[in-house]
Amino acid sequence: MSISSRFAVAIHILALLDINKEGRNTSEFIAGSVNTNPVVIRRVIGLLGKAGLVHTSPGVGGASLARQPQDINLLEVYRAVQNDPPGELFAAHDKPNPKCPVGQNIQGTLDTVFRRAESAMENELAKVTLDQIVFDLVRGDR
Amino acid sequence: MSISSRFAVAIHILALLDINKEGRNTSEFIAGSVNTNPVVIRRVIGLLGKAGLVHTSPGVGGASLARQPQDINLLEVYRAVQNDPPGELFAAHDKPNPKCPVGQNIQGTLDTVFRRAESAMENELAKVTLDQIVFDLVRGDR
DNA sequence: TCACCTGTAACCATTGTAGTTACAATTACT
DNA sequence: AGTAATTGTAACTACAATGGTTACAGGTGA
Ligand code: FES
Ligand code: FES
């Protein structure tokens, strides 16, 4: 399966918050932009809020970045919206047979390889900051 | 969501085929080793067969490696058992609003980042060969 | 013929996801 | 105080992928 589109939506939201920082970014406004339901947006924003990436204003409405866009990288965003804990991008097979020569040690062997691959991916995400994304978006507009 | 455990099971199977190359590796035997149902094993072996990694003997029974273990790397195995086509590790959000300044260009921007991250992960998998896995397994046995 | 095995279809339970409706709690404005 | 707007959350639905299971047709060799 693919990694949840929450990640893509989260990046979308954060970029919008930066670009439209003058306006009041309600979940409904953002939903219109992302083309989905406001509740979906609020759910993602809730996760981003818990991770300390955005602030929200209950009652008054609207969300805003809690940090400068150059201080937010995509790995943080990924971690914020990803339900699976780190180190579980690859599913291990549950209960290998301990009586089998392969089963005895397969867990550790696979774990090393899987962790290495997962880290390589995450390092690429860590390299990219939100302001690079925004720059790229605005550049595309010209 | 995590990447399907089919990948872990596939590596498990291939390692077993190499280690137990003298014996007749029926789906039932392998299933006992992996600790799952024979049909699950046959399904995975079917995918590995289509990818040209193993040979099977319908009727007579048993499977064997179609190549030397040093000539099989984990990226090939990953591709063989992964249903999602390459380039879709990360799900894009479906239909961004073309009237939104973000939506106009978000697809291309995200695509670049996502592809880069996915490739980084795959490159790590490509570095590891089946015989390295087997070596590690056997070493753990001592 | 017979025993055994593969390949595959069919079905089921579980899980994660995204969308949707509904509503209490919060805040600003008048 | 009263009203309108908005967040945060719960609850429900629909859907897709997954892994396990049973069943069985067809191949293969003894
Ligand atoms: S436990 Fe997985 S093959 Fe032996
Ligand atoms: S925020 Fe996704 S289309 Fe505008």
**B72: CATH:** 1.10.10.10
pLDDT at B86: 87
How far apart, in whole angstroms, are the C-alpha atoms of residue B93 and residue A88?
23
Residue A1 lies in a domain: no
Domain count, chain A: 1
Question: Is the Cβ atom of B54 within 7 Å of strand C at any atom?
Answer: no
Best substitution site from B106, B107, B109 to test ligand 2's pocket, by max atoms within 8 Å of Cβ?
Answer: B106
pLDDT at B123: 97
**With 60 as the cut, is the pLDDT of residue A142 above it?**
no
For residues B116 and A120, the answer to whether their CB atoms sit within 8 Å is: no
How far apart, in whole angstroms, are the C-alpha atoms of residue A102 and residue A95?
12
| Opening angle at CA A115, ends A113 and A116, nearest 5 | 65
Query: Residue B57 pairs with which residues in a beta bridge?
Result: none
For residues A89 and B2, the answer to whether their CB atoms sit within 8 Å is: yes
Pocket of ligand 2 (CB under 6 A): A 12, 16, 33-34; B 96-97, 100, 102-103, 106
Q: What is the mean pLDDT of residues B90-101?
A: 77
Ligand nearest to the CA of A40: 2
pTM of the model: 0.91
Residue B29 lies in a domain: yes
Closest CA to A141 of B103, B74, B27: B103
**With 60 as the cut, is the pLDDT of residue B142 above it?**
no
pLDDT at A140: 62
For chain B, positions 115-134, list CB contacts with chain A under 8 A. Answer: 116-118, 120-125, 128, 133
Predicted confidence (pLDDT) per residue in A15-64, tens digit: 999 999 999 999 999 999 899 999 999 999 999 999 999 999 887 878 99
Residue A95 lies in a domain: yes
How far apart, in whole angstroms, are the C-alpha atoms of residue A120 and residue A131?
22
**Which has more pLDDT, B2 or B67?**
B67
pLDDT at A11: 97
Q: Which domain holds residue B70?
A: 6-140
Mean of all residue pLDDT scores within chain B: 91
Residue B1 lies in a domain: no
Residue B71 lies in a domain: yes
Model confidence at A141, pLDDT cuts 50, 70, 90, reads low
